[in-house]
Amino acid sequence: MKRISNHKFSVMPGEQVVIRVTPVALQLGFLLATLDGRPLTPSNGSRAAKYAFVVARPVGETHVCVFDAAFPAESPEQAAYKFSVMDSSGEAQENFSLLKREMLYEVQLWFHVNDDGVRELEGDPPIIVQHHPPEPWD
């Protein structure tokens, strides 16, 4: 995996991608993840959730992973989700946070499949949408 820009990566077929999410001042139950429009189920640790998938799309296509976050009204202003996008070796390629006070509730991560893992993803940068998802998650 190679980071191209914010939330945009170049990956190779068969590569494993792991996204570790650590909640700050709230519980994990307020986060929903999808991969290519289908639910992505985490393996929960004691303090963080790990979302993992193996790159299965053919060369030239893109996996899109979307995280929808909710911040309950009673959560403190410092509430956040800390993300770490890791390659197959476990090395972090990007770290970022969704903060309650910034009102950012969705993030898209793009994983473009290449045979050499380094070509640039063409087109517009990822779209980040602000909205208020329903609470609680069902």
Ranges of each domain in the chain: 2-113
More confident residue, 115 or 64: 64
Radius of gyration of the chain (CA): 15
- Decide: 47 and 24 in contact? Cβ < 8 Å: no
In Å, what is the CA distance from 115 to each residue of 39, 43, 56, 107? 27, 29, 12, 26
pLDDT score of 123? 53
**For 34-90, what is each residue's pLDDT tens digit?**
999 999 999 876 678 899 999 999 999 999 999 999 888 888 989 999 999 999 888
Strand pairing report for 106-113 and 31-35 = unpaired
Query: In this predicted structure, what is the pLDDT of residue 63?
Result: 96
Q: Which CATH number fits domain 2-113: 2.60.60, 1.20.58, 1.10.3470, 3.30.420?
A: 2.60.60
pLDDT of residue 48: 83
Residue pair 65/19 in contact (Cβ under 8 Å)? The answer is yes
